[in-house]
């Protein structure tokens, strides 16, 4: 059987545009003499629709588009993903796949396993399917699965265990071939796990398997595509490239096994972030981006990613030096702008405004305006100026903070946190350096003729430059020590004892860092959207309370039923945080 894999990049809600994508893939598959065309999950509406699916008329529009697909299918069978309403009301909607051929809908398959972990909340919107779906194509029986029906949460650390195995049930119902429609977001190293799961399922059930994935960015998520096909013995016979749309036809009988090299982590991260920036701007109607350039590594990598995503002519920098900015920082920012060939990179010194604000506050604040107050004034002046330029030019401000800073609150609300998109918000500081070195070693991957990031930005000690001779390590442990603690606690929710064992860090330091992470939650709730690239990113996949006090060490049980609580506990007052 010849199966066409349509790796598409839909826009959520754009039913007309998404239908055009499917129709174009039908024409491509027809030219390749395909028997079956497979699209991604919810291809006609886009994934994830979130509360948009509750809007009146949106489900009906997607269902009407199925008829257009059926009319275009001809003798080829097309599996197209869409929502469908099975009963009136807000609920009663299913995540479905229609099998279309000869201007008719042959069968409808409903997704059976609805994930409710991490960024997924499908059980909020959909009802689960109840039975396997097997259709006949070119004399063969094809079992239809939708994403989680195949993966069954096998690609994540913390997840439910399902009692149902839709793939096995499809085989029991007569399926000779398994096909899975997916919209599975990118997470570093996830694809290798996915392919291993698919190969295991194929071998266990002795059936060839085809998995088609969405590609592109959608809000905080990025999708890498990498659709593939495996034989019943688990050998991979086709794999589409990552990070690009394509429709490729695979012959399950004739195509030979291939050896697909796993993607390099730093390369994958760079392409994921480029995709996220490109599609966020494209799908929200923005052509240009603006980055505040400090001469440091975070703003340098953010600008390089933006230039690769949008073209250097659509990216501007803005240098905002203060009295504490070093000469080399200004030089490094200027060199970066030249390396990237940015559209513009003016310099606006914030010192005059800084002095005015200090003067205005002097009558109100006792003594001199100093310390964190003065440091944050500088950061907020920069944020204000960036947003002013954004308002005037229509360029989207990209926040430059990394995951390490967001984790411990080493960031200023309405200052360096200002922006529409936190490009590096899920990238730890040590990884920022790794990706910067990678793009310098592989400049062509970003469309650059020479290494884009100045070596000085990589080699010098990181500093916010908000006071004399400041470095990040004045307030934080070295990032080589800090980042493993953050990774263990944030991405694995590990408690102090486990973090100490896994990282070898001092218990007191681990406790302090975890307290800092908890205390900074209110800041993260006001942060720019973070592009998710790890198992646990800050944002909707990690919904934590802001008003909390974590106490897991309980007092011993007292024998008296009338015992009073200790006086110290009774008198304890709530923490007062600034």
As a whole-number percent, the residues of the chain with pLDDT over 90 amount to: 82
In the set 100, 111, 169, 405, the catalytic residue is: 111
What are 123-182's pLDDT values in tens digits?
Answer: 999 999 999 999 999 999 999 999 999 999 877 765 678 899 999 999 999 999 999 999
**pLDDT at residue 469 greater than cutoff 80:** no
**319 shares a domain with 214:** no
The arithmetic mean of pLDDT across residues 243-268, rounded, is: 89
Our answer to whether residue 147 is catalytic in this structure is yes
**pLDDT at residue 574 greater than cutoff 50:** no
**In the prediction, which pLDDT does 578 show?**
40
114 found inside a domain: yes
In the set 147, 283, 403, 429, the catalytic residue is: 147
**84 shares a domain with 174:** yes
**121 shares a domain with 197:** yes
| Distance of alpha carbon 279 from alpha carbon 215, whole angstroms | 10
503 found inside a domain: no
**pLDDT at residue 256 greater than cutoff 90:** no
**In the prediction, which pLDDT does 463 show?**
79
Q: Which residues contact 305 (CB under 8 A, 6 or more apart)?
A: 270, 273, 274, 277, 423, 446
Min mean pLDDT across 58-67, 417-426, 487-496, 569-578 is at 569-578
- pLDDT band with cut points at 50, 70 and 90 for residue 552: confident
**In the prediction, which pLDDT does 538 show?**
95
**pLDDT at residue 577 greater than cutoff 60:** no
570 found inside a domain: no
- Of 469, 490, 507, the position where a domain reaches its end is 469
What's the CATH code of the domain at 189?
Answer: 3.60.110.10
| Distance of alpha carbon 22 from alpha carbon 43, whole angstroms | 8
**327 shares a domain with 200:** no
In the set 41, 148, 169, 375, the catalytic residue is: 41
**447 shares a domain with 380:** yes
**In the prediction, which pLDDT does 569 show?**
42
Mean of the per-residue pLDDT values of the chain: 93
| Distance of alpha carbon 456 from alpha carbon 375, whole angstroms | 24
The full 3-state SS of 350-395, as one line of letters, equals: CHHHHHHHHHHHCCCCCCCCCHHHHHHHHHHHHHHHHHHHHHHHCC
The full 3-state SS of 262-287, as one line of letters, equals: CCCHHHHHHHHHHHHHHHHHHHHCCC
Q: What is the residue range of 344's domain?
A: 269-469
**pLDDT at residue 565 greater than cutoff 60:** no
8 Å CB contact between 550 and 518: yes
DSSP-assigned letters across all residues of 60-75: HHHHHHHHHHHHHHTT
541 found inside a domain: no
283 found inside a domain: yes
**In the prediction, which pLDDT does 90 show?**
54
30 found inside a domain: yes
Residue 268 CB-half CA count within 13 A: 22
**292 shares a domain with 316:** yes
Q: Please give the residue that has the higher pLDDT: either 380 or 548.
A: 380
| Distance of alpha carbon 39 from alpha carbon 215, whole angstroms | 11
- pLDDT band with cut points at 50, 70 and 90 for residue 576: very low
Our answer to whether residue 161 is catalytic in this structure is no
What are 325-369's pLDDT values in tens digits?
Answer: 888 889 999 999 999 999 999 999 999 999 999 999 999 997 788
- Provide the domain count of the chain: 2
| Distance of alpha carbon 312 from alpha carbon 276, whole angstroms | 16
**In the prediction, which pLDDT does 466 show?**
76
**In the prediction, which pLDDT does 573 show?**
39
**412 shares a domain with 352:** yes
- pLDDT band with cut points at 50, 70 and 90 for residue 52: very high
**187 shares a domain with 302:** no
**201 shares a domain with 62:** yes
**pLDDT at residue 214 greater than cutoff 70:** yes
**In the prediction, which pLDDT does 146 show?**
98
**In the prediction, which pLDDT does 353 show?**
96
**In the prediction, which pLDDT does 157 show?**
66
The arithmetic mean of pLDDT across residues 501-515, rounded, is: 95
Our answer to whether residue 345 is catalytic in this structure is no
The arithmetic mean of pLDDT across residues 415-443, rounded, is: 98
**In the prediction, which pLDDT does 327 show?**
81
Q: Which residues contact 535 (CB under 8 A, 6 or more apart)?
A: 118, 156, 157, 187, 491
522 found inside a domain: no
- Of 410, 435, 469, the position where a domain reaches its end is 469
What's the CATH code of the domain at 390?
Answer: 3.40.50.620
**253 shares a domain with 277:** no
**pLDDT at residue 564 greater than cutoff 60:** no
**pLDDT at residue 285 greater than cutoff 70:** yes
**384 shares a domain with 258:** no
**pLDDT at residue 223 greater than cutoff 50:** yes
- pLDDT band with cut points at 50, 70 and 90 for residue 566: very low
539 found inside a domain: no
**273 shares a domain with 229:** no
- Of 221, 236, 262, the position where a domain reaches its end is 262
What are 67-117's pLDDT values in tens digits?
Answer: 999 999 999 999 999 999 997 755 789 999 999 999 999 999 999 999 999
Give residue 577's Cα distance to chain centre.
Answer: 31
Q: For 489, which DSSP code?
A: I
């Amino acid at each position: 059987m010849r199966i066409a894999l349509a790796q598409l990049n839909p826009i959520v809600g754009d039913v007309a545009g998404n239908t055009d994508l499917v129709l174009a893939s039908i024409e491509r598959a027809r030219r390749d003499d395909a028997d079956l065309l497979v699209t991604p999950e919810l291809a006609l509406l886009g994934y994830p629709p979130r509360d948009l699916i509750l809007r009146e008329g949106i489900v009906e529009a997607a269902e009407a588009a199925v008829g257009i697909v059926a009319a275009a299918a001809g003798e080829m069978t097309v599996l197209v993903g869409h929502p469908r309403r099975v009963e009136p009301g807000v609920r009663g909607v299913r995540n479905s796949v229609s099998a279309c051929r000869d201007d008719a809908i042959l069968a409808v398959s409903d997704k059976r396993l609805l994930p409710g972990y991490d960024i997924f909340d499908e059980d909020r919107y959909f009802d689960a399917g109840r039975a396997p779906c097997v259709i006949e194509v070119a004399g063969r029986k094809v079992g239809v699965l939708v994403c989680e029906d195949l993966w069954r949460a096998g690609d994540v650390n913390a997840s439910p265990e399902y009692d149902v195995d839709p793939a096995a049930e499809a085989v029991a119902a007569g399926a000779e071939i398994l096909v899975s429609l997916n919209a599975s977001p990118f997470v570093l190293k996830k694809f290798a796990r996915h392919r291993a799961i698919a190969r295991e399922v194929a071998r266990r059930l002795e059936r060839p398997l085809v998995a088609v994935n969405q590609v592109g960015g959608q809000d905080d998520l990025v999708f890498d595509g990498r659709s593939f096909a495996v034989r019943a013995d688990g050998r991979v016979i086709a794999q589409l490239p990552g990070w690009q749309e394509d429709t490729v036809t695979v012959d399950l009988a004739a195509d030979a096994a291939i050896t697909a090299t796993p993607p390099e982590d730093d390369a994958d991260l760079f392409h994921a972030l480029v995709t996220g920036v490109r599609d966020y701007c494209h799908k929200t109607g923005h052509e240009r981006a603006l980055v505040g350039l400090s001469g440091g590594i975070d703003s340098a990598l953010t600008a390089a990613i933006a230039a690769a995503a949008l073209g250097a002519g659509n990216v501007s920098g803005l240098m905002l030096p203060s009295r504490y900015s070093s000469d080399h920082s200004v030089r490094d920012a200027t060199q970066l702008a030249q390396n990237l060939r940015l559209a513009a990179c003016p310099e606006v010194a914030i010192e005059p405004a800084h002095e005015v604000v200090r003067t205005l506050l002097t009558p109100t604040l006792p003594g001199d305006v100093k310390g964190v107050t003065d440091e944050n004034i500088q950061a907020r002046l920069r944020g204000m100026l960036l947003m002013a330029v954004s308002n005037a030019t229509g360029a989207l401000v990209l926040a430059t903070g990394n995951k390490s800073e967001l984790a411990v609150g080493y960031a200023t609300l309405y200052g360096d946190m200002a922006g529409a998109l936190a490009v590096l918000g899920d990238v730890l500081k040590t990884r920022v350096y790794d990706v910067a070195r990678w793009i310098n070693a592989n400049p062509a991957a970003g469309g650059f003729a020479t290494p884009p990031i100045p070596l000085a930005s990589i080699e010098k000690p990181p500093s916010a430059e908000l006071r004399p001779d400041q470095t990040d390590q004045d307030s934080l442990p070295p990032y080589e020590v800090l980042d493993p603690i953050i990774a263990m606690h944030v991405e694995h929710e590990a408690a102090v004892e486990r973090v100490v064992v896994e990282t070898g860090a001092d218990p007191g330091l681990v406790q302090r860092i975890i307290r800092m992470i908890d205390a900074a939650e209110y800041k993260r709730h006001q942060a720019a959207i973070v592009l998710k690239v790890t198992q646990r990113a800050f944002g909707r996949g990690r919904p934590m309370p802001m008003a909390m006090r974590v106490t897991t060490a309980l007092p011993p049980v007292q024998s008296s039923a009338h015992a009073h609580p200790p006086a110290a506990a009774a008198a304890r007052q709530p923490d007062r945080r600034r």
